[in-house]
Amino acid sequence: MIARDNLLVASGFAEGRTNTPILASTMAVQKTLGGYLVNGSKKPCTMTHHFDLITFGVNYMAPQGQPQIGIGVGFAADPSIERKEFWSVPHLQAADSHEVIFNNLMVPEAMMCFSAAVDDQLDEAQQGTGNHLFAIWFQLLASASYLGMASALASRALTGKKGSQEDRALLLIDLQGATMALRGLAASIDDNRFLRSDLARAQATRFAIQDAVNRISTRAFEILGGMAFMSSEEVAYLLVATRLLAFHPTSRLASTAFLCEQLS
């Protein structure tokens, strides 16, 4: 239906809680005869006022006492879904990122998918059927998006022949290195590698790209010069927007112990 009707799907996983994994949801999920009753809120959610459907993460305790990670789907027109203003800064206005509140949203069983196992309970051969797969995918998609923003800023400096040849070479080196790192991460996903060690490598790749994005955007901004800043809102906007990768999960601080354990 989404593909056929070209529907817009929003992402509702974050809950606005500092240093908390996006898969550690506080949403209340109650099993009923008709499916699942969902209560709680997600913030910020992309395209809050423009989505056709919203996907959202939940945690659910099965009747057998087993914790499960789930993803549900809700329709925009459902009266149980409420919107509330959340994001006040101008830099991400196009993302329409605000709070979505679920008030006894009824989700049919066919629109709620659970992972029967969480990765902490699995051995090395089984891992990948729980939250690691999702987390690795997210690191790839977030990193690629922000590298694209930095590339847009760098291309203005490169096509305009701004700065010295050395300045432009440093931009190209960072762009090429970050792009190849992303390609390596994408290849590991194609090979279905979702173990704990693969998750650590994905996170390390993301932080390396995050640092490269900061270097690229800062250098391109300086090369373009003050006149470009004063004459184009887009240049200043891209500089600020590229910094926001740091706010996406997982944070560097929260990953430190895990990275040292897996990579050292």
pTM over 0.75: no
Integer Cα distance of 251 and 226 in angstroms: 32
Last residue of a domain, one of 82, 116, 150: 116
3-state secondary structure of 9: strand
Nearest to residue 240, comparing CAs of 210, 217, 215?
Answer: 217
Q: pLDDT tens, position by position, for the chain (264 residues)?
A: 888 999 999 888 888 887 676 777 889 899 999 899 999 999 988 889 999 999 998 988 878 777 788 889 999 999 999 999 887 777 677 778 899 999 999 999 999 988 755 555 555 555 554 567 778 888 998 999 999 999 999 999 999 888 899 999 999 999 999 999 999 999 998 888 888 889 999 999 999 999 999 999 999 999 988 777 777 788 888 998 899 899 888 889 889 999 999 998
**Same structural domain, 32 and 142:** no
Helix%, strand%, coil% for the chain, nearest 5: 50, 20, 30
**Same structural domain, 138 and 258:** yes
Last residue of a domain, one of 89, 116, 143: 116
Between helix 196-231 and helix 131-159 the angle, nearest 10°, is 30
pLDDT given at position 52: 96
Integer Cα distance of 68 and 61 in angstroms: 6
Last residue of a domain, one of 84, 116, 148: 116
**Same structural domain, 96 and 136:** no
* 176 belongs to a structural domain: yes
* 124 belongs to a structural domain: no
Residues 52, 77: contact at Cβ < 8 Å? no
Integer Cα distance of 38 and 103 in angstroms: 7
How far from chain centre, in Å, is Cα 62? 27
- Domain interval for residue 257: 131-263
**Same structural domain, 215 and 189:** yes
